[in-house]
Amino acid sequence: MTNTRPSEIQRFNLTFRIQHVILLVTFLLLAFTGWALKYPEPALQHTGWWIRLWGGAKAAGIIHRVAGVIMIADFVWHVIYVVSQLLTGKMKFDPVTTIVPVPSDIKNAVQNILYFVGLSDTKPEFGRYNYIQKFDYWAVFWGMAIIGLSGLVLAFPTTVAIFLPQWSANWIWEVFFVLHSDEALLAITYILIMHFYSEHLKWENFPMSMTWITGKLSMHAFKNEHPLEYELEMKENPGAFKNPGKS
Amino acid sequence: MKKFLLFLALLPVSLILLSPPAFAETFTCLACHGSMKGKIRTEKGSFIEVYVDEGRFSRSVHGGMGCTACHKTFKDNPHEAPNAEVARNITELASLISSKAQIDAVAYAACSECHSDTYKQVSESVHGRNVIEKKQHDGALCLDCHGSAHYIMPGQSRESMVNRANVVGACGECHEKEEIAKKYNLGTHIIEKYNESFHGKKYKLGHSGVPTCVDCHGAHGIKKWDDPASPVSWENRTATCGKCHPGANKKFVASITHKPTGKDNPIPFYAEKGLIVLTVGTIAFVIFHVFLEAFADIRDRVFRKNKEEHHD
């Protein structure tokens, strides 16, 4: 009985994992089909190989719209799920486990960067979500508000036009278009750099963190990357960690 | 059997003898013009192309026609002038468009002989009136959009200048030019703005449903947008857009202006600038953060290995 400590903890339940997979698939579909429209290939005159890969401009347009609607539905499902979890008490607000930005995130960010450059000897101690993970999460809300709404406007222009004031009619469409396309570019590059580094390239995760499939996080990573949540778990649920010392 | 062989032997001869006169005549002209290279200076001082590509001509929609069907008479003729009779309406039209058709106005006007309905539309259009009434030499007529009458291909052919795949380029020939825009007080960058629009981007990607210039503005009978008869006039625009966008209202149809963003159109201009700052700023921070993090991760792994293990 020297090692009864579980080697992994459950970080994300099945619902969250399904929501993430839907988000991931629709995000890629939207990015790939939208990219063709953002940068149409003029060199190959009407038949860029990329758009042919997606079945031509019409098919790509349909894929883009369907994926967009599924992504919005996924987002709505997520929000309803989280709110219901909070209301029924299955999820509780705690500064350590919350994904809501708290003042200590700013302190942690500064300390983390100081640690990176060697001006601080200690890493900041994170809770369940570090500031980058919080940024990742809320970026989706920002994206939904900006890209999702402008996408709906662009998908149903004649309906939306009924509600627009006349004085905005000359320029507002271009603004919607710019919002949709530029923020999408921001989302794609952000995911490509930050999310890819954290979940794929980072030493302990290379080539890929399996958390998105299993929902589990190794006890080692839990303790190292989320020490505050680890301590909280220890306090609230000491039975689960019979031998938290060296394994 | 002998008779049959004789028939076979005479078949090519009979084909030549029985072929329509147009063929023989074209054959004669092309004997020289099919092999001449370069341009010739006329007495008036303009350079004219004297070479006619026989292969392309015979494949064109006019390949079966004789040269003098259009080239009925020409003044600067170095060789014997064709003495075809020229109808009065052709000579009249030729003098009307002489500012434009400086080399062989009769041949230019001859289009109207077969394409009379189209020519009527053109002569009432903003392009036709510009040449006929305002005598502008740089206004557009048949050949500016369709190319040389020798090589006109059917509209469905990708080789046609006004084929769907090429028509935006054909309009752009003039409408991309700043001096044309300035002279006629037209919008600048309209082709550029079209290319940046959803219509233009989908067009580039080969979407068969999006409109090109002519789908909204019309072709032969094109009118200026402020002419009430134009399909894109403020009165007709909802109907024109409504062909593809049922329920299009005035606020919706105002979206397409082909106006460049900038001074006249400041809100999208500054919205885009703001978003670029936001995007570039965020990406810069993210790259900065990832590089530092990668640096620190490698440092901790390689140089502070013992410390890491100790912590565990």
Cα B247 to Cα B234: distance, rounded to the nearest angstrom: 16
What is the average pLDDT value for chain A, to the nearest integer? 89
B252 chain-A contacts, CB cut-off 8 A:
157-158, 161, 169
Residue A15 lies in a domain: yes
Which chain A residues in 86-125 lie under 8 Å from chain B, judged by CB atoms? 113, 115-118
Whether residue B213 contacts residue B167, with contact meaning beta carbons closer than 8 Å, is answered with yes
Residue A106 lies in a domain: no
User: Residue A2, SS3?
Assistant: coil
User: Residue B134, SS3?
Assistant: coil
Residue B75: the pLDDT is 64
pLDDT-derived band at A235 (thresholds 50, 70, 90) equals: confident
Question: Does the pLDDT value for residue B92 go beyond 50?
Answer: yes
B204 chain-A contacts, CB cut-off 8 A:
40-42, 46
Q: Which two tokens stand for residue B270?
A: 């500054």
Question: Does the pLDDT value for residue A87 go beyond 50?
Answer: yes
The amino acid sitting at A80 is: I
ipTM of the prediction: 0.86
B289 chain-A contacts, CB cut-off 8 A:
113, 132, 194
Residue A245: the pLDDT is 42
Residue A133 lies in a domain: no
Please tell me the distance in Å from B226's CA to the nearest CA on chain A: 17
Among A58, A19, A20, A51, smallest CA distance to A36 is for A51
Kindly state whether B278 is in contact with chain A, defined as any CB-CB distance less than 8 angstroms: yes
Residue A227 lies in a domain: no
Residue A160 lies in a domain: no
Residue A121 lies in a domain: no
Residue A235 lies in a domain: no
Cα B107 to Cα B98: distance, rounded to the nearest angstrom: 11
Kindly state whether A247 is in contact with chain B, defined as any CB-CB distance less than 8 angstroms: no
Q: Do B289 and A202 touch (CB under 8 A)?
A: no
Cα B33 to Cα B35: distance, rounded to the nearest angstrom: 5
Which chain B residues in 146-175 lie under 8 Å from chain A, judged by CB atoms? 165
Count of domains observed in chain A = 1
- Which domain range does residue A70 map to? 8-92
The chain A residue lying nearest B193, using CA atoms, is: A174
pLDDT-derived band at B10 (thresholds 50, 70, 90) equals: low
Number of other CB atoms surrounding residue A87 within 10 Å: 9
Among B111, B178, B122, smallest CA distance to B149 is for B111
Which chain B residues in 202-261 lie under 8 Å from chain A, judged by CB atoms? 202, 204-209, 245-252, 254-255, 257, 261
Q: Which two tokens stand for residue B217?
A: 């503005």
Please tell me the distance in Å from A186's CA to the nearest CA on chain B: 5
Q: How many residues does chain A have?
A: 247
Residues B244-296: tens digit of each pLDDT: 999 999 999 988 888 887 777 788 889 999 999 999 999 999 999 999 999 99
Among A129, A94, A155, smallest CA distance to A211 is for A129
Q: Do A179 and B298 touch (CB under 8 A)?
A: no
Residue A202 lies in a domain: no
Among A5, A14, A30, smallest CA distance to A214 is for A14
Residue B40: the pLDDT is 80
